[in-house]
Amino acid sequence: MCYCGGLSQEYRAFLYGDTTLTASNKPNFEEQAARLDRKVFELQALMKASDALHNELDVKELTSLFMAMVRERSNVQRMAVILHDPDIKAMVVQAQMGLDDGLVGKRFPAEDGILWRLLRAGEPFTVTDISGRSRFPHIFVEHDLEGLDAQLWVPLVMPGRVVGVLSMACAQTEQDVGVFDPDDSFLSALASQATVALHTALLYQSIAVARRELDRSLFQISMLFDVTRAMGAVTDLTELLQIILDRAIDAVDAEKGSLMLLDEETGELAIRVVFGLPDKQVERKINSGEMLCRRFKPGEGIAGRAFMENRTICVDNTAADGAFTERESTNVHSIICVPLNVDDGTIGVLNITNKRALMFAGKPASGEEPGADRSFSKDDQDILGALADQAAIAIARARLYEAAITDSLTGLYVRRFAWHRLKEEIKRVHRYSGRLSIVMCDIDHFKRVNDTWGHAVGDAVLVSVADALRASLRVGIDIAARVGGEEFLLILPDTDLVGAAAAAERLRIYIQKNKVKIDDGDDQMVTMSFGAAQFDLKNGEESEVLVRRADVAMYEAKNAGRNQVSVSPMPSS
């Protein structure tokens, strides 16, 4: 390869045999060769440095690499890179070397003025005068940037755009005697290459952020669509609450959670469903209503505060938060409480606890330890907030539906809904050739209870019986309804007459053992009479006929002395 293009006239003459050169103008060939070798080396070094800069797309790593290259070349030990953020119209300290870490993140406005004009001009300039005082005190003092100890600024500019500036600090020690030489072509070229690389990295960063935002939005929309579709198909309130809680925990990759609803009679927050308890049997009993949990008043604990203040509250360290009660903070390291709002007010609180790992589009972020406790992010709060908005509407609708189909005193289904469900079960038996039985039951001598102790005790008896029925039936399968004053109907799918009679006998014994307390402190024993009947599929029996047969069997039990079970035999063909 020939490098003659940049050689002096004397060197050219020597190369081409000009013998008229004298000793005075004879070139120093060794010096020329050394200079040429240095130029070639610097060109190769610049190419390597340029490759390294352009191959790095992480802004933090790129600024560190750039400063390390400048230090190696100039021996300047203290410097900082300040980047222009057009979104906030400010210059922000991105990275530092040899200075205080507290400088990173500090900023000053990117507004037109002498300093901004100097930056746009693109030529290095000093920011201190000959006495060492700042030329721009309104920037360095007012914005707490004196720690930069800046002496020389090297603008990092592209045509029509200020990317940033390299701030070079004053010499502080004998070893820190380096200086950025504006006439050093290598440093100038390095700064130009770094400017382009930083501009590319910033563009990549903004695109990556936008893509994350898009992915997060798509994930949120997809999740809300799935949840809305699932909630729209569910009318049972408990099942709906479990779906909401399950989706919420999955959405933010948490360990467990609970959902509280306001009890309008007491004004307290009652835990309706839970998920993630170590004891699954306890979890099942809580969700089925067999076991009651502690209630919270508005303003009590984090959940109560979120309800009362109607705002999302996130606590990353419950041990350090004085608002937690001892019971509430047990096995809870972090928690986010989101109020459930409808038009007429707040109806409950969604509580999600113990974030497991950072999430990205519904999946754990790379490099995260599985199961590691993490703080809930702003994205988590946004997702749960959107989910809570949809959930509150679905819950309000389900509660209205539940109020329409349940008895206000006992919480059991009302007569009309029971007939509707019975007809549905009969259709299912016809379709799949299954089995179906019902049990009619009536409280013995209930009128005597009302006449002797009053209707308050009578109501207590009805509630006690309803609780016994719920506790004894299969959750999600059997159906219990109050069809008269003291008369109840049990619908037992996939159960023959023998099974129905056995279930009725278990109920009879259970109710007899569980006495009801009355005002004077005495216990009142309650008994019931039962009549069981199995649906006659072979003869295509109507629902009214089935109910009539069970009702007749129940009165046979009463006529036989009460507190017993009677069965209606299957009709003959």
Give the model confidence (pLDDT) of 316-343 as tens digits.
Answer: 877 776 666 544 446 788 899 999 998 8
Encode pLDDT of 95-106 as tens digits. Answer: 999 999 999 999
Decide which of 157 and 213 is more confident: 157
Residue type, 355: K
Task: List the domain boundaries for the chain.
Answer: 56-203, 234-402, 415-568
Confidence (pLDDT) at 318: 75
Q: Worst-scoring range by mean pLDDT, 375-389, 462-476, 510-524?
A: 510-524
Fold of 234-402: Beta-Lactamase (3.30.450)
Residue 208's pLDDT band, with cuts at 50, 70 and 90, is confident
Confidence (pLDDT) at 90: 92
Rounded percentage of the chain residues whose pLDDT exceeds 70 = 86
Residue type, 229: R
Decide which of 337 and 219 is more confident: 337
Confidence (pLDDT) at 371: 42
CB-based contact 466:411 (threshold 8 Å): yes
Encode pLDDT of 409-462 as tens digits. Answer: 999 999 999 999 999 999 999 999 899 999 999 999 999 988 888 888 899 999
- Nearest alpha carbon to residue 368 among 381, 356, 350: 356
Task: Kindly give, in sequence order, each residue whose CB lies less than 8 Å from that of residue 220, ignoring residues fewer than 6 positions away.
Answer: 382, 383, 386
The mean pLDDT value of the chain amounts to 84
Of 262-271, 291-300, 352-361, 548-557, give the range with the top mean pLDDT: 548-557
Average pLDDT over residues 263-292: 89
Distance CA 197, CA 126 (A): 24
Residue 56's pLDDT band, with cuts at 50, 70 and 90, is confident
Decide which of 231 and 66 is more confident: 66
Residue type, 9: Q
Does the structure show a pLDDT above 50 at 505?
yes
From residue 243, alpha-carbon distances to 158, 271, 317, 339 in Å are 54, 15, 27, 17
Residue 7's pLDDT band, with cuts at 50, 70 and 90, is very low
- 17: left (phi > 0), else alpha (psi -120 to 50), else beta? left
Query: In which residue are the tokens 């390597």 written?
Result: 48
Does the structure show a pLDDT above 60 at 393?
yes
Residue type, 309: E
Please give the model's pTM, rounded to 2 decimal places: 0.55
Of the chain, the end-to-end C-alpha distance in Å amounts to 111
Pairing label, strands 345-355, 335-342: antiparallel
Handedness of CA 38, 40, 43, 49 (dihedral sign): negative
Confidence (pLDDT) at 54: 84
Decide which of 40 and 90 is more confident: 90
Encode pLDDT of 528-558 as tens digits. Answer: 999 999 999 988 899 999 999 999 999 999 9
Confidence (pLDDT) at 171: 66
Fold match, 56-203 / 234-402: yes
CB-based contact 237:261 (threshold 8 Å): no
- 266: left (phi > 0), else alpha (psi -120 to 50), else beta? alpha
Average pLDDT over residues 20-26: 52
Confidence (pLDDT) at 30: 76
Residue type, 554: M
- Nearest alpha carbon to residue 443 among 517, 508, 513, 490: 508
Within the chain, what is the greatest distance between any pair of CA atoms? 146
Please, what CATH class does the domain formed by 415-568 belong to?
Answer: alpha beta
So which residues are the catalytic ones?
486
Residue 344's pLDDT band, with cuts at 50, 70 and 90, is confident
Does the structure show a pLDDT above 50 at 6?
no
Distance CA 110, CA 131 (A): 27
Confidence (pLDDT) at 225: 80
In DSSP terms, 380 is beta-bridged to none
Task: Kindly give, in sequence order, each residue whose CB lies less than 8 Å from that of residue 286, ignoring residues fewer than 6 positions away.
Answer: 271, 273, 274, 277, 292, 293
Average pLDDT over residues 150-172: 88
Distance CA 75, CA 229 (A): 65
Rounded percentage of the chain residues whose pLDDT exceeds 90 = 44
In DSSP terms, 125 is beta-bridged to 153
Confidence (pLDDT) at 409: 93
Q: In what order do the strands lie in the sheet with 487-493?
A: 479-482, 487-493, 436-443, 528-534, 565-568
Encode pLDDT of 58-87 as tens digits. Answer: 899 999 999 998 888 888 889 999 999 998
Instruction: Please provide residue 261's backbone torsions phi and psi, each rounded to the nearest 5 degrees.
Output: -125, 150
Q: Worst-scoring range by mean pLDDT, 59-73, 208-222, 245-259, 554-568?
A: 208-222
Average pLDDT over residues 560-566: 96
Beta strands in 428-513 (DSSP E): 436-443, 479-482, 487-493
Q: What does CATH list as the number for 56-203?
A: 3.30.450.40
In DSSP terms, 135 is beta-bridged to none
